[in-house]
Structure 1
Amino acid sequence: MAPELIRIATRSSPMALAQVERVRRELAKLFPRTATKVVPVTAYGDRWTGNLAVLGGKAAFTREVDATLLEGDADVAVHCVKDVPGDLPLPEGTVFAAWMRREDPRDALVHPGGLTLDELPSCTRIGTSSVRRAAQLAASHPHLCRVPIRGNVGRRLEKLDEERVDALVLAVCGLDRVGSADRIAQVLPVETMCPPLGAGVLGLQCREGDEPVLSALRALGDPATAREMAAERALLAALRGHCNTPVAGYARAGAEGAVYLHARVFTPDGTTVLRAEETSTADPADLGLSVADALLARGARALIDAIAH
């Protein structure tokens, strides 16, 4: 039986709040007698405008939310899985109860004139703070200029409108969540811009042993997405990549139980790209470890360890 009230902790950015609204809607459909309350948390990562490595990487986006959960001020934490560190364990006493159905994991080009990536002239200033995006742009379109830019999606779009940059690369699902999908000039194919592991997926975290909440959250989980996350998270944990490591990849779960996993590791300048991919009907976590082993055999460990963090 679902609880009478579920308190949901989330970052206080517009996108994070939009993500929580999706959770609330789906809970309301399944458990109409359960009320939900949003517990907004301002994360250091949302306030910081510099290099995330200074704050400990992606943990800067999850640390305060996790604390709210552990201290009993909330029952559920909603995370965009791409922001959950792969080289750190979950806080003791917490567990991911469910992975919600995956949204579009791809990136998009936002350009005021509607140009595609291949149509952009030399020295076009593309704003991105992602080492993953910058590395792939350097590899595929070295004639373009990559400009560091931070802030939530709305603030980045404002900087584009203020002509501080000429174009942006942003997540398709992020633009859709904040109602700005109409700004997309081109959805970038994964061959050109491989997404981050966990892209497009919301993870629902709660305290271990909280059976009423665990049961309610499990009802929101998507089996195919769960298989994809098992593979992707195992891969990321095995690589022990940090926030400055350009690691990318995605899994696709098939109807017959098979999971396909593709992954890449880059140097920040895009001059070296390691690739590995496999398909398996076995445990998806084992698939993730197998693809990680293939990347490590090709030199991924030395490449990752050489990047300062």
Structure 2
Amino acid sequence: MTDVFLNRFADTPLRIGTRTSTLAKIQANHVADMITKFAPGIPIEIVPTQVSADLWPGDLAEIGGKGAFSKEIDSALTSGRIDIAVHCVKDVPGDVPLAEGTAFGAYLERDDVHDIVVTRDGVALSDLPAGSLIGTSSVRRRAQLSIHRPDLRTERIRGNVDTRLTKLDEDGKYAALILARTSLSRLGILDRHHEILPLEFHTTGEDVSMVPPVGAGVIGIQARQSDAPVMRLLDELNHVPTARHVLAERTMLHMLRGHCNSPIAGHACTTADGKMSLFGMVFNRDGSAFVRSHAWGEHTDPATLGARVAADLLHQGARNLITATRK
């Protein structure tokens, strides 16, 4: 297989498409390092692409939802300007198909899925005074925060992670940010004080919990299905347990037909006895109404598990919650 791959790129580098942010380029270089270990000597070129979502300061729904994170990269992939594309799976929409003729050939082993609270002075979220302003662009985070701390205010904050942290430190507007812990880890700034929010959902009156989004902590690598050598390479890089967890989560998401303004959470994992667990939730905008489902299944059939959880959520009224968030 290595010989076939080397022959494919004997006269041209393997071109890796990615967004232009520091974090995105770190992730692309991580993929490049993995490929180099598998096929030493292969020429690799990182191709950063400016995407619509990174330039837009407003509501993503106004420019096509989460698809704005990838449409320019999709175009580069389908036209042959790049050979693979590196994505954070949580940013890949569940209500629209991938670009025609492409597929995810590999999911890398999942990183930390926790959300964290970052403040300037290390104050815990529970100690922030009523009326404090929290910066987050995630409707999922806003809904869950409102369940436990309805006295806090939230405001959309766009931009890359490092840009958001600069805003927190320098303009004094925000009391705290809610971010993905894996983002700080990949940027090498986990030494910054932060509070880790628990994953397990619980009710009002307890500490804030934060069920993660579908695809949290996972890097996905997309390629043209017709490019057999590249697809075979990606199969070598694929982390099978993570791929199964992502399939369960994204099957649920696809059946729910959520959009970028739908507060949806979902997390799959393998239990100690080898079963697969999937927990899913759908919220309204302020978290005052929600439905939740938790089921277990065989790890060899993640799609069925995802469908079961989605069906249960829909039976409980998830469609009405999702439809309401379109307004």
TM range (shorter): over 0.9
Match in the other structure for 1:173: 182
Matched, 1:297 2:320: no
TM-score, scaled relative to structure 2? 0.92
Instruction: Output the amino acid matched with 2:309.
Output: V
Return structure 1 stretches of 4+ with deviation > 6 angstroms: none
Matched, 1:196 2:204: no
SS in 1 for 2:46: strand
What is the CA-CA distance between 1:187 and the residue it aligns to?
1.0
SS in 2 for 1:8: strand
SS in 2 for 1:182: coil
Which one of the candidate residues 88, 91, 95 is aligned to 2:103? Answer: 95
Moved more, 62-71 or 22-31: 22-31
What is the CA-CA distance between 1:33 and the residue it aligns to?
2.3
What is the CA-CA distance between 1:255 and the residue it aligns to?
6.2
Mapped contact 1:225–1:253 kept (Cα < 8 A)? no
Instruction: Output the amino acid matched with 1:40.
Output: P
Which one of the candidate residues 89, 95, 104 is aligned to 1:81? Answer: 89
SS in 1 for 2:151: coil
TM-score, scaled relative to structure 1? 0.97
What is the CA-CA distance between 1:15 and the residue it aligns to?
1.1
Matched, 1:185 2:194: yes
What residue ranges of structure 2 are gaps of 5+ in the alignment? 201-208
**CA offset digits 1:218-261 (Å, max 9, x no partner):** 11111110110110110000000000000011100246542100
After the TM superposition, which residues 9-48 of structure 1 pair with which residues of structure 2 at under 5 Å, given as runs?
A: 9-48=17-56
Alpha-carbon distance in 2 for matches of 1:308, 1:230? 25
Alignment identity in percent? 47
Root-mean-square deviation (Å):
1.2
Match in the other structure for 1:210: 227
Moved more, 21-30 or 71-80: 21-30
Alpha-carbon distance in 1 for matches of 2:25, 2:221? 14
**CA offset digits 1:119-163 (Å, max 9, x no partner):** 222222111111111111111111211122111111110110121
Which one of the candidate residues 154, 162, 165 is aligned to 1:154? Answer: 162
Match in the other structure for 1:109: 117
Alpha-carbon distance in 1 for matches of 2:272, 2:93? 29
Alpha-carbon distance in 2 for matches of 1:161, 1:97? 39
Q: How many residues align?
A: 309
Moved more, 111-120 or 137-146: 111-120
Instruction: Output the amino acid matched with 1:299.
Output: G
What residue ranges of structure 1 are gaps of 5+ in the alignment? none
Match in the other structure for 1:131: 139
Mapped contact 1:136–1:193 kept (Cα < 8 A)? yes
Instruction: Output the amino acid matched with 2:292.
Output: R
Match in the other structure for 2:270: 253
Match in the other structure for 1:275: 292
Alpha-carbon distance in 1 for matches of 2:158, 2:67? 16
What is the CA-CA distance between 1:264 and the residue it aligns to?
0.5
Alpha-carbon distance in 2 for matches of 1:181, 1:278? 33
Alpha-carbon distance in 1 for matches of 2:139, 2:155? 11
SS in 1 for 2:223: strand
Moved more, 101-110 or 113-122: 113-122
What is the CA-CA distance between 1:288 and the residue it aligns to?
0.3
Mapped contact 1:129–1:149 kept (Cα < 8 A)? yes
Mapped contact 2:284–2:324 kept (Cα < 8 A)? no
**CA offset digits 1:37-67 (Å, max 9, x no partner):** 1111000000111111001110000101110
Alpha-carbon distance in 1 for matches of 2:192, 2:133? 17
Matched, 1:222 2:239: yes
